[in-house]
Structure 1
Amino acid sequence: MNNNPIYKNPNSPIESRIKDLLSRMTLSEKIGQITQIDRRVATRSAIRDLSVGSILSAGGGGPYEKATSSDWIDMIDRFQNAALESRLGIPLLYGTDAVHGNNNVYGATVFPHNIGLGATSLCDRDAELVRRIGVATALEVRACGAQFTFAPCVAVCKDLRWGRCYESYSEDTEIVRNMTSLVKGLQGQPPQGHPKGYPFVAGRENVVACAKHFVGDGGTDKGINEGNTIASYDELERIHMAPYLDCISQGVCTVMASYSSWNGRKLHSDHFLITQVLKEKLGFKGFVISDSQALDRLSYPFGSNYRKCVLLAINAGIDMVMVPFRYELFLEDLTYLVESGKIPIARIDDAVERILRVKFVAGLFEYPLADRSLLDRVGCKPHRDLAREAVRKSLVLLKNGKDPKKPFLPLNRNAERILVAGTHADNLGYQCGGWTATWMGASGRITIGTTILEAIMEAVGETTDLIYEQHPSQDTFANQDFSFAIVIVGEGPYAETMGDNSELVIPFNGAELISSVADKVPTLVILISGRPLVLEPWLLEKVDALVAAWLPGSEGDGITDVIFGDYEFQGKLPVTWFKRVEEAGKNSSEPLFRLGFGLTSNREGHLN
């Protein structure tokens, strides 16, 4: 064998390197590259001897709880060194769910979830804020050794009952399209004249991005996660597919298929949409990855007749399969299907070419191991300042005073006595939401950050008496004369199907708490949620001011920056706020608040 193969020469054209490497690969090595496994089942022998192409850490999938970025590097480099020991030395692509910052890693900066960033769109039409968030996220991902993030989600959420609503930027396709600037932040800006559809990664401080979930996941009937989107092809293209055009034009490297169906056809087995539309019509040259255990969902019961599921998905155009656990069975079944001629070798070669293209573009063959000089970027002050800015710009002021001539906000930071109450006042986990530290998120101090209560304590004057009670008693009001109250309530953390909700009431008896406080003290309510929640007219009348803060992430001081008047409210609703939950999936002519609504502190509003 040539001691200096073309594929190892960084000066050779990428397509020549792909062709050379592919010609040297056995069927077993090709199938290994198509396979992505969970780090919990990854062994040195599996990686080295089976040529596994990719490993992932799912939500919370670090080396152990509250592992540092240095621990992450040690883990990922250990896996990578095993890959480099394989016959051809093809490096791994390590993926992680960094969907609002590098949220799996303890101490990383946690940015607002996408729905909050969508609220910034109307005041940031060039989406520069989101691009900068992409840059910061990429740095914090690379600083921990990973090179691949399963973001951005470019779903257009058409039903707020959907459990992934907060992963969507908006119900409006144009707002979602605007927010695809995250791709340029994550991967870098492609040069002028970059070939259409060809993947792009600027350098070692950038990551491979993934546009997901192709296609129509935000439009399922009744907002059921993994459900069925009923739409004509024209509707699918105009509403749900349009953001993918923008991602592809920015050189997005990968696209993830959706668990959901289109008119009853499972996306993971839809040759028309994956191959004929995405790859051929739209010209996408990167690779298509499955969602986790998505192939198991192609049969009923779950995981049965697995060989047929593999056949359907690979022939439909899935290039890399997020297995992620039963990889021995996957390898066995895919090998049989190719050797028996049921899956053409040309389909396997196409998948492997696409995977290798992304690896070469990302520079993995030249720089497979982590750059430890980036370690101090994880949770650094500039990134936290950026997250704080994002929180400020995402806040939507829905009500400001019972009398139009007497705005309630901004609050007086030097007030004599302030009451802070509510389940979400001092809970960083609730503040960050799902996909933080773990898949579902969790309650409590799950990472490093500033709770809203801590931010209020820092913001108020030295002479102000601040009282915090999560659930104030009657004695609290009997014995104290409060200038005003800040009540902070909302949803607990959730992800995916666990977040599907047909009622959308404020949990933890939030409405009752608001009512009991607002009956006694002038009250600002800050709602922490991944979507609009039911606000009964009687409740809305009682409160003096109402702010939708979405899921703001680790920097709670972005909220106090605005409510105490250091900055103006700028956010506008990225979704329509319904009067009744039954309107959540419909176009109501008289919603509670329209798409694009948002007051400023001087009560000027904006309607789209």
Structure 2
Amino acid sequence: MNSKISVIKSSFLAVFLLPLLALLISSCSQQQSSTAEDTSENLVNPQDWPSIKPIPLDPAIEAQIDSILPKLTLEQKVGQVIQADNASVTPEEVKQYRLGSVLSGGNSAPGVLPYADTKKWLELADEYYYASIDTEGVEIAIPTIWGIDAVHGHANLSGAIVFPHNVGLGAMNNPDLIEKIAAVTAHELTVSGHDWTFAPTLAVPQDLRWGRSYEGFSEDPEIVKSYADRIVYGLQGQVGTDDFMGAGRVISSAKHFLADGATENGVDQGNAQISEKELIDVHAAGYYSAIPAGVQTVMASFSSWQGRKLHGDKELLTDVLKGQLGFNGFVVGDWNGHGQVPGCTNTDCAQSLNAGLDMYMAPDSWKGVYESTLQHVQDGTIPMSRLDDAVRRILRVKIASGIFTKGAPSTRKNAGDESLLGLPENRAIARQAVRESMVLLKNNEGTLPIDPSKTILVIGDGAASISKASGGWTLSWQGTGHTNDEFPNGESILEGIEETVNTAGGKVIFSADGDTNIEADLVIAIYGEDPYAEFQGDIENLDFVPNAFDVSKLAEFQSKDIPVVSVFLSGRPLWSNPEINNSDAFIAAWLPGSEGGGVSDLLFQRNPAFDFTGRLSFAWPSTALVSEDAEPLFELGYGLSYNTTAVVDQLSEYSGLENNNLKSTGEFFNKGTAVAPWGLWLSTGDLDKQIASFPTSVGGLIVSKTDHEAQEDALRIKWTKSDRDQMRISAASPSDMSRQANGAMELAFSAKSFTEEQAVVQIGMCDSDASCNETLEISIAAGDWQEYRISLSCFDNLGVDMTTISSAFMITAGEGVDIGLSNIRLASDLDAKPGCDGN
């Protein structure tokens, strides 16, 4: 009897309780994934958010979707929720996997350059389109849509207008003009055959150390809200009119949902430790106007809120965005952002789709995402109802955009007509935006406007460079290393000044480095930040660090009683008190783009109606340290006009950093770049070459960028010969690392072999007298990225003089070795056991 009871209990347990237990575990697991590390109480209260009435669905579109969905295979449905980068997917693969979308990352243009001309873009657009509508093997084919980051004009298209970045556009506080700018951007996108831009950015940056601050319009949510709907109208047209998604219009994407501008310490892709009320009142403000305006897509943020990765947050993506806020378009991810959700990888993340993501942005991971998502649907991890909802939302946007009826990209209105790029009337809009975005911070003794009949000395590395004036996301992702001939429809600030002065009978002398022996009536100095994008632009403090131009020369000109006008180029307000003190007039020109003539319009007041109307949309810091207690130097909304009599007195030049005990982070290579004072060098034989751009090579060594934790944050190094060529991270002045060696510090880095077998490399640290011949042999595993650590004492034992380290890292290998390398730094010994083999 006892055995029977035991059998009955076991059967009951197997048949009833175990499935129930499994269901409960699955439910808990999904809930934990959706909240991304938050295992405490539910922090989101959707009923506290504003209720937005959804835009009524078009019955004809919904009926068309109803007829399409049953005809799609499961494989087609999975393909629709995946977006691949054009650098990693062929048209044939788009057809084979029935992918829903293709994107072009910041450096992913067709051809050898990070940008392309109209012909190259359009040819590839047609190839993707025709591949996607090929009905071979399927009952119905769904056209793919092509997206790109046209965030301040279509800046990856040769000849397109580059508008001021958003940090400047926020200062103009002109919603009418912002709509015109968006409309011009859409117009130029249709010339190259693109369907979709990942704009507008609706971040409300609160910490200017964030490298994407210039993508935000303002720290004031009201300015962001006043722009959001107007940008959507400019890109898409207005819902309910014949103009909606008509000729010259493209799909827009509000991004990044949510609070990417609130991360702690301004760390890109970081964590926003703020209240739900601040989330509602500040960071969601732009969505309250973009959604009613009919924005078709929303991009999820890389970042977290209260430790919850947004790519996996069901309560925010589904309950709030799609529920309370009434968004009925589709949610797209950011560059492999799903891979950051706890429990996920770049190639496998059911949690994101279940949380409310509708389309994975899986640039180079798309094939793995396809395979894992297909499996998750087949085994029920992803409910079919969730997949169908995602596909319905994608189809809704595609049908509304006209992609089913307007034919191949090359057959559409505007397509391929390069004469439509940089039209005079559109360049005039950009030039107006430059004028209205500039903020006059100082104009002592009426230095401005300038008399153009005088002799004007123009100095600074920003004067002749359209690239520097345009910043990141221009021709390439980071926007660096471009010459003016790559902007065929552009004008530098210097050219604008020369045109004005020459017309008035004056004289312009240009000296980029600022020759102080030149006599002139007035000096215009044009300088500031070099271009950057995303996390590579993150900084530790707000101190402006001069780069290619010696700003101390400003004081020399003043000492000769030559007035100095500073035109400061930057993606954010920076502590620049010494530069302001050494200038009689100081202008925050932000990143004005390709219409440099707009700067001269105001410097010389070329039209009586021209005046400084720009007002700060971000407060200007009084200290280089970020502190809530610090009073701003110039308040939000500050800005002078010609008739303003305010005088800016001598400012304190105490940055706040002097006694802050700032120490070296011990980082040598991070976020895709060498950390100052270190630089990247290649050596072959007697030849040394500093790396200035990528890809680059020397001898048999080829170095390019690759992805590790983020886009292009790592190096890819390939040896094609057996000459043992070296890559080094070196500095001009040696560093004393004896204390670190004695303190059990380690040289740490992440690496992987791109071949199927492990790679054997030699690692060294070099002192001032050595030729980097004393090395340690390290084996780099194939497959996933791994961290490697070498005790500094190992190099000490080799005889390296740790008091005079000139190269903090040297690597060499034999022919055929192909590895990735990132995050090279000093780190504390984790187990206090010295290791010399990298483990």
* Cross-structure match for 1:388: 431
Q: Does 1:63 align with 2:116?
A: no
Residue 183 in structure 1 maps to residue 232 in structure 2: yes
* Residue 98 (structure 2) aligns with: 51
2:403 aligns with 364
The 5-angstrom pairing of residues 270-309 of structure 1 reads 270-299=313-342, 304=345, 306-307=347-348
Q: Tell me what 1:580 maps to.
A: 623
Match for 2:313: what amino acid?
Answer: D
Give deviations 1:59-92, integer Å, cap 9, x for gaps.
1322123532122111101110111113322111
Q: CA deviation at 1:142?
A: 1.0
Pair 1:113-2:165 in alignment: yes
C-alpha distance in 2, partners of 1:217/1:488?
Answer: 31
Q: Secondary structure at the match of 1:546?
A: strand
Instruction: Provide the C-alpha distance between the structure 1 equivalents of 2:189 and 2:624, rounded to a whole number of angstroms.
Output: 38
Say whether 1:560 aligns with 2:600: yes
* 1:257 partner letter: A
Give, in whole Å, the separation in 2 of the partners of 1:211 and 1:172.
17
Q: How much is the aligned-residue C-alpha RMSD, in angstroms?
A: 1.9
Question: Using the alignment, how far apart are the partners of 1:151 and 1:52 within structure 2?
Answer: 22
- Residues 527 and 567, structure 2, Cα contact 8 Å, conserved in 1: yes
Q: From 455, 470, 474, give the equivalent of 2:512.
A: 470
Contact 2:163 2:592 in 1 (8 A): yes
Mapped partners of 1:518, 1:130: distance in 2: 38
Post-superposition Cα deviations, 1:116-160, rounded to whole Å, max 9, x if no partner, equal: 100011xx3xx0000001111110001110010000000001011
* CA apart distance, 1:190: 2.3
Q: Which amino acid aligns with 2:83?
A: Q
Q: Could you tell me which residue of structure 2 aligns to residue 162 of structure 1?
A: 210
Amino acid at match of 2:439: V
Task: Report the CA distance between 1:204 and its aligned residue.
Answer: 2.5
Map 1:358-437 onto structure 2 (within 5 A).
358-370=397-409, 371=412, 373-374=414-415, 375=417, 376-401=419-444, 406-415=445-454, 417-437=455-475
Distance in 2, matches of 1:85 and 1:419, equals 61
Query: Size of the alignment, in residue pairs?
Result: 570
Answering whether residue 127 of structure 2 is matched by residue 78 of structure 1, we say yes
Cα distance in 1 for partners of 2:198, 2:147 equals 7
CA contact (8 A) 1:526 1:546 kept: yes
One-letter amino acid matched to 2:285:
A
Deviation at 1:354, TM superposition (A): 0.3
User: What is the Cα deviation at residue 391 of structure 1?
Assistant: 0.3
Q: How far has the Cα of 1:299 moved from its partner?
A: 4.6
Residues 399 and 142 (structure 1 numbering): CA distance in 2 closer, same or farther, change over 3 Å?
A: same
Q: Which residue of 2 aligns with 1:451?
A: 492
Larger displacement relative to structure 2 (513-522 or 423-432): 513-522
- C-alpha distance in structure 1 between counterparts of 2:591 and 2:96, whole Å: 43
Q: Work out the CA distance in 2 between the residues paired with 1:106 and 1:259.
A: 29
Matches within 5 A, 1:333-352: 333-352=372-391
Distance 1:277 1:12 in 2: 24
Q: Residues 254 and 287 of structure 1 are in contact (CA less than 8 Å); yes or no, is this contact kept in structure 2?
A: yes
User: The residue matched to 1:231 in structure 2 has which SS?
Assistant: coil
Q: Is the 8 A contact 2:80 2:394 kept in 1?
A: yes
The alignment status of 1:494 with 2:544, answered yes or no, reads no
Distance in 1 (alpha carbons) for counterparts of 2:209 and 2:277: 24
Matched with 2:141 is: 89
Gaps of 5+ in 2: 1-57, 648-839
SS at the partner of 1:569? coil
TM-score (norm 2): 0.66
- Which of 1 and 2 has higher RCO (CA within 8 Å, sep 6+)? 1
AA of the residue aligned to 2:514: P
Q: What CA deviation, in whole Å up to 9, does each residue of 1:183-210 have, x standing for no partner? A: 1100112238x9xxxxx94312111000
Q: C-alpha displacement at 1:511, in angstroms?
A: 3.5
Counterparts of 2:473 and 2:619, CA distance in 1 = 24
Preserved contact between residue 338 and residue 345 of structure 2 (Cα < 8 Å): no
* Counterpart contact for 1:47–1:83, Cα < 8 Å: yes
- Could you tell me how far apart the structure 1 residues matched to 2:566 and 2:509 are? 16
Tell which deviates more after alignment, 135-144 or 40-49: 40-49
Q: Is the contact between residue 190 and residue 414 of structure 2 (CA under 8 Å) also seen in structure 1?
A: no
Name the one with the larger strand percent: 2
Tell me if structure 2 keeps the 8 A contact 1:118–1:170: yes
Distance 1:483 1:151 in 2: 44
Is 1:544 matched with 2:584? yes
Larger helix percent:
1
- Partner of 2:88 in structure 1? 41
1:602 aligns with 2:636: no
Check whether the contact 1:142–1:207 (CA below 8 A) recurs between aligned residues. yes
Partner secondary structure for residue 581 of structure 1: coil
**CA deviation map 1:426-484 (0-9, x unaligned):** 1111111000010110133242311111111111035422111111234x24xx2x100
Q: State the 4+ residue runs in structure 1 displaced beyond 6 angstroms.
A: none
Report the CA distance between 1:357 and its aligned residue.
Answer: 0.2
TM-score, length-scaled by structure 1: 0.91
Cα separation, partners in 2 of 1:587 and 1:95, compared to 1, 3 Å: farther
CA contact (8 A) 1:490 1:510 kept: no
| Native 8 Å contact 1:69 1:378 kept in 2 | no
Give the corresponding residue for 1:213.
Answer: 256
Q: Deviations over 1:295-354 (max 9, x none)?
A: 222258xx74843xx111111100001101122211110011111111100000000000
Deviation sequence 1:386-417 (CA, Å, 0-9, x none): 1001001101000001xxxx3110000001x2
Distance 1:140 1:305 in 2: 33
Q: Mark the CA change 1:546 to 1:363 in structure 2 (over 3 Å): closer, same or farther.
A: same
Q: Quote how far apart the aligned CAs of 1:21 are.
A: 0.5
Of 267, 277, 292, 1:249 maps to 292
Q: Give the equivalent residue in structure 2 for 1:151.
A: 199
Q: What SS is found at the alignment partner of 1:119?
A: helix
2:616 and 2:636 in contact (8 A); partners too: yes
Give, in whole Å, the separation in 1 of the partners of 2:346 and 2:583: 56
d(CA) in 1 for partners of 2:297 and 2:473? Answer: 20
- Partners of 1:164 and 1:135 lie apart in 2 by 23
